[in-house]
Amino acid sequence: MEQQLNQLKEEALGAIRSADSVRSLNDIRVKYLGKKGPITDLLKGMGKLPAEERPKMGALVNEVRGKVTEVLEARMAVLEEEAVSRKLEAEAIDVTLPGTPAGTGNHHPLTRIVEEIEDFFISMGYEVAEGPEVEKDYYNFEALNLPKGHPARDMQDSFYITEDVLLRTHTSPVQARTMEAKEGQPFRIICPGKVYRRDNDDATHSHQFTQIEGLVVGENIRMSDLKGTLDRFAKKMFGEEREIRLRPSYFPFTEPSVEMDISCFKCGGEGCNVCKGTGWIEILGAGMVHPNVLRMGGYDPDVMSGFAFGMGPERIAMLKYGIDDIRHFYTDDVRFIAQFHRAEG
């Protein structure tokens, strides 16, 4: 029995030494020291031994159990520590590695140009006004001296929703709305917003684009005020050396009507690809508010007068930044937008 016990001890110690995980060591503990294990069996079998051998054998079994327990516990401590450091190693973070750059956003070039234009006019005492994109035929056309059946309605192909409601084709309805709201008082407004036309999209056309409308109404507002304002504006947006020229044009809501060109900022007037060889670039439409429009807006054209202008900020941004396709503004390609990081803050 003593021999059997020694063999058991060697076997258990060998198993403990080669155990490579906390789990297998626990299995070994159950196998050798558990209630159904061989050591328990030996202790149970003691009763069959002659009385004089019992104390000696009892001591021996206890010694083996003590030794196996001790070695097992020591090995357990080592394996547990190893497991902890393996875990720590797996979770380790190299704080010296570079981080993932979050990137900073920037304004869309269109937002940027609209804000630049707004800032200029705000500095000249204008208020920013807004109006609905789904507009009544009355404000989009009638109140702007474009009665039903007027041929000039064809200048702006429209998306009708009902017979009397449409997606506004220009920001000019805000003129009519503002005149109504101001009830005969003088004012200066600038109105940026989306407009819609039944156009096929290509590099220079879009069924939805942006306009900025300007309107000044008061006593003694003259064509020279319009010209001076547009001249300042052109110089602010395209450089102090810019010249402007006004060409006669036609809009039903202004009389006289003009189109404004600026001297080419690329060639300075000699002729290049930007100005198509003419030395001039068309920027906007404008004119003196038509007496009919003033009257419908509640202003007496014998006492009050006004000027108005309308421009497309996409066109201005395209010229200013050399963008060759209007669709770039709406397709949200971040590579396009990211080129317009505001350097001036």
**From 2-10, 13-21, 110-118, 306-314, span contacting ligand PHE (CB under 6 A):** 306-314
Integer-rounded Cα radius of gyration of the chain: 44
Q: How does DSSP classify residue 53?
A: T
Taking residue 344's Cβ as centre, other Cβ atoms within 10 Å add up to 3
Least distance CB 226 / ligand PHE (angstroms): 10
Closest CB to ligand PHE among residues 28, 283: 283
**Single residue of 5, 79, 237, 286 touching ligand PHE by CB under 6 A:** 286
Q: How many residues bind ligand PHE (CB under 6 A)?
A: 11
Q: How does DSSP classify residue 266?
A: T
Closest CB to ligand PHE among residues 186, 268: 186
Site for ligand PHE in 245-264 (CB under 6 A): 251, 254
Least distance CB 251 / ligand PHE (angstroms): 4
All residues at 6 or more sequence positions from 16 whose CB lies less than 8 Å from its CB, including other chains = 25, 28, 68, 71, 72, 75
Beta strands in the chain (DSSP E): 127-128, 134-136, 159-160, 165-167, 187-196, 208-218, 244-251, 254-263, 280-289, 305-311
Closest CB to ligand PHE among residues 109, 287: 287
User: What is the C-alpha to C-alpha distance for residues 7 and 25, in angstroms, rounded to an integer?
Assistant: 19
Site for ligand PHE in 208-247 (CB under 6 A): 213
User: CA angle, corner 164, sides to 213 and 168, nearest 5?
Assistant: 25
Interface with ligand PHE, residue 192, by CB under 6 A: no
User: What is the C-alpha to C-alpha distance for residues 304 and 326, in angstroms, rounded to an integer?
Assistant: 39
Per-residue three-class SS string for 211-226: EEEEEEEECCCCHHHH
Interface with ligand PHE, residue 170, by CB under 6 A: yes
**From 226-234, 262-270, 279-287, 319-327, span contacting ligand PHE (CB under 6 A):** 279-287
Closest CB to ligand PHE among residues 192, 287: 287
By beta carbon distance, the residue nearest ligand PHE is 310
Amino acid at 88: L
For residue 46, give the 3-state DSSP assignment. helix
- Of the candidates 307, 172, 303, 282, the one whose C-alpha atom is nearest the C-alpha of residue 226 is 307
User: What is the C-alpha to C-alpha distance for residues 253 and 292, in angstroms, rounded to an integer?
Assistant: 8
Interface with ligand PHE, residue 297, by CB under 6 A: no
Closest CB to ligand PHE among residues 233, 309: 309
Closest CB to ligand PHE among residues 140, 263: 140
Closest CB to ligand PHE among residues 57, 195: 195
User: What is the C-alpha to C-alpha distance for residues 294 and 260, in angstroms, rounded to an integer?
Assistant: 23
Least distance CB 224 / ligand PHE (angstroms): 17
Least distance CB 293 / ligand PHE (angstroms): 10
**Single residue of 141, 196, 309, 329 touching ligand PHE by CB under 6 A:** 309
Least distance CB 147 / ligand PHE (angstroms): 16
**Single residue of 252, 306, 310, 313 touching ligand PHE by CB under 6 A:** 310
User: Is residue 255 annotated as involved in ligand binding?
Assistant: yes
The enclosing H or E element of 86 equals helix 54-91
**Single residue of 173, 285, 306, 313 touching ligand PHE by CB under 6 A:** 285
**Positions at the binding site for Mg(2+):** 255
Chain residues binding ligand PHE by CB under 6 A are 170, 172, 213, 251, 254, 285-287, 308-310
